[in-house]
Chain A
Amino acid sequence: DIQMTQSPSTLSASVGDRVTITCRASQSISSWLAWYQQKPGKAPKLLIYKASSLEGGVPSRFSGSGSGTEFTLTISSLQPDDFATYYCQQYNSYSLTFGGGTKVEIK
């Protein structure tokens, strides 16, 4: 299985900060990568697919980049609603796998 490694596992930031989360794949997954946001007690929500495509209705402050084995999720100006846990997920091959998550906390 392809291993997905996210860093950092926890991130403390303030409203207005630019935030970057990294996701590395153990082998090339081309651009078959998605990012999800999850709030406590809620289901995950799709933010980004195919590494850099923004899902409909997702604010433009979210962006994704990368290909092959290294990917990033960037929030250009952190808003109060963005404090949550973020997961990357590869859908290049089975088993589909997720990163361990990055919790974005209020500084």
Chain B
Amino acid sequence: EVQLVESGGGLVQPGGSLRLSCAASGFILSDHYMDWVRQAPGKGLEWVGRTRDKGNSYTTQYAASVKGRFTISRDDSKNSLYLQMNSLKTEDTAVYYCARTSVGQNPFNSWGQGTLVTVSS
């Protein structure tokens, strides 16, 4: 069974940093794209970024709203995905989901339960 479990969320001040983790099980992480998607309280879904699979050299892609501030990485040996968030803004407050995508043009086919990040002074 595919499982994705996020952790690392919490309260952080504007300008601060936070690192989220996503523990994956039930599938071979290196064979899949992995994404982060966020949802501000009471709002819709926003794609944050992607890391491609090993076959595509783990290249990354980011939304304009986070480019230069957020970095996605992965450690396939630990079956883990990460989101390093720097220079956080109040508008980054959201539930952050990790999601699995099959290689190529495909939708998000599995999601974690999410972790809440609150950016506030």
Contact = CB atoms under 8 A, between A and B. Distances in A.
Contacts of A32: 105
Instruction: Identify the interface centre among A34, A92, A96, A101: most chain B CB within 10 Å of its CB.
Output: A96
A20 B98 CA distance: 29
B111 A89 contact: no
Interface in A21-77: 32, 34, 36, 38, 42-46, 49, 55
B46 interface: yes
Interface of B: 35, 44-47, 50, 61, 63-64, 97, 105-109, 111-114
For the residues of A in contact with B, the DSSP-based class is loop
Contacts of A96: 35, 47, 50
Interface of A: 1, 32, 34, 36, 38, 42-46, 49, 55, 87, 89, 91-92, 94-101
